[in-house]
Structure 1
Amino acid sequence: MLASASTLPTLETPRLRLRWMTEADIPALFELFSQSEVTRYWSWSAYTELAQAERLLGNIHKHFAERSLFQWGFARREDDRIIGTCTLAELSGEHRRASLGYALNRAHWGHGYGREAVGRVVEFGFTSLELHRLEADVDPRNTSSVKVLEDLGFQREGYQRQRYSHNGEIQDAVLYGLLRPEWRSGCV
């Protein structure tokens, strides 16, 4: 899994560039994860200080060095400003699987950017990393995220009751999975 690379490869889509994030991207990461609408169904609360985004970037780089997490920032080609992230976490070479996660700045919802970025990372996972399985869990109330997964061919595999406690609220999760033989490369 990219054994000798010092950074993630840049992935391209018709409108987006998924790339390695640097210190220059910290303000955009803070903007993204300080939006309560974005973190509504996330595993942590909205950021309140820039230092949280700095720590996030440090953790992204640390976990990439360990090859346990690949997290791209994605930007529109026209301005290269990060508007979201897409992540392969819990990478297992032995079992050839990873968990998928993604977030998109509220200002860019409704334009298909999330689906475009996630589709490209799915393709990378199945082709470049030769993964056999990708999985994601999503709050069932997050209908936009559910639609992204289902449009890409993910199948609902289970319902996890009261899986998360977030901002004083207990939240359910739906588990989705996609196997490489089921994946359609044209879905990107």
Structure 2
Amino acid sequence: MPTIHLPTIETARLRLRPLLEADIPAHYAVFSDSDVARYWSREPWTDIVQAEESIKAILAAQADGSEARFGIELLSTGELIGNVGLHHFFGSNRRCEIGYALGSRHWGQGYATEALRAAIRHGFEALDLNRIEADIDPRNIGSARVLEKLGFRKEGFMPERWFVFGEFADTVNYGLLKRYWDEA
């Protein structure tokens, strides 16, 4: 895919925007939260250098067209509370994966659904995708609800795919076709 220009997208309560080096402390706060990392494919960050390296990698991926990751910012305060990204693009197949994380103190308020809806719309409309995929730990009931609310359908199960927090974790695969999105 070509270099991805990330627009700033505003929803009723959020601003999705490109991540910046200035976001390193807030980015670290999200991924060092053990509640956030609980169902992630790696353990929580323990050093801000990890956030610095992550932001550098995100900026490089945007420059080479392999990722479109938005920071999720509250319109009311300007606080960065998480991110949502389209990544692992397969241009010839017009598909990618979506990933997201939201600081745990912002869970249960509909922010994840609002942010993902905007990112998905961007993927289908601006990037001309036909399919967006997600994979989650099946114990992450909140994330499953968000995906299903947005029209994703369960498509597969992979037992013991990750080893995190000293245990093997399963994965449930979800898919969203543009035609499902258009029908909703």
Query: Structure 2 length as normaliser, TM-score?
Result: 0.96
Q: 1:36 to 1:4 in 2, by over 3 A?
A: closer
Q: Secondary structure in 1 aligned to 2:93?
A: coil
Residue by residue, what CA displacement relative to the aligned partner does 1:62-95 show, whole Å, maximum 9, x if unpaired? 1111111111110110122210110111012111
Query: Are positions 1:17 and 2:3 aligned together?
Result: no
Q: For the Cα contact (< 8 Å) 2:74–2:80, is it kept in 1?
A: yes
1:178 equivalent in structure 2: 176
Structure 2 CA distance for aligned equivalents of residues 20 and 101 of structure 1: 15
1:116 equivalent in structure 2: 114
Query: Are positions 1:153 and 2:151 aligned together?
Result: yes
Structure 2 CA distance for aligned equivalents of residues 163 and 12 of structure 1: 35
2:38 equivalent in structure 1: 40
Q: For the Cα contact (< 8 Å) 1:12–1:18, is it kept in 2?
A: yes
Displacement after TM superposition at 1:4 (Å): 5.5
Displacement after TM superposition at 1:185 (Å): 7.7
Q: Percent identity?
A: 44
Letter in 2 for 1:181: R
Displacement after TM superposition at 1:182 (Å): 1.0
Letter in 1 for 2:167: E
Residue by residue, what CA displacement relative to the aligned partner does 1:20-62 show, whole Å, maximum 9, x if unpaired? 1112111100100000000111122111111110000000001
Structure 1 CA distance for aligned equivalents of residues 182 and 52 of structure 2: 37
Displacement after TM superposition at 1:129 (Å): 0.5
Structure 2: gaps of 5 or more residues: none
Computed over aligned residues only, the root mean square deviation of the Cα atoms, in angstroms, reads 1.3
1:50 equivalent in structure 2: 48
Residue by residue, what CA displacement relative to the aligned partner does 1:118-159 show, whole Å, maximum 9, x if unpaired? 111111111110100000001110000000000000000011
Structure 1 CA distance for aligned equivalents of residues 71 and 127 of structure 2: 18
Q: For the Cα contact (< 8 Å) 1:69–1:91, is it kept in 2?
A: yes
Letter in 1 for 2:135: D
- Structure 1 runs (4+) deviating above 3 angstroms are none
Query: Structure 1 length as normaliser, TM-score?
Result: 0.94
Instruction: Count matched residues.
Output: 184
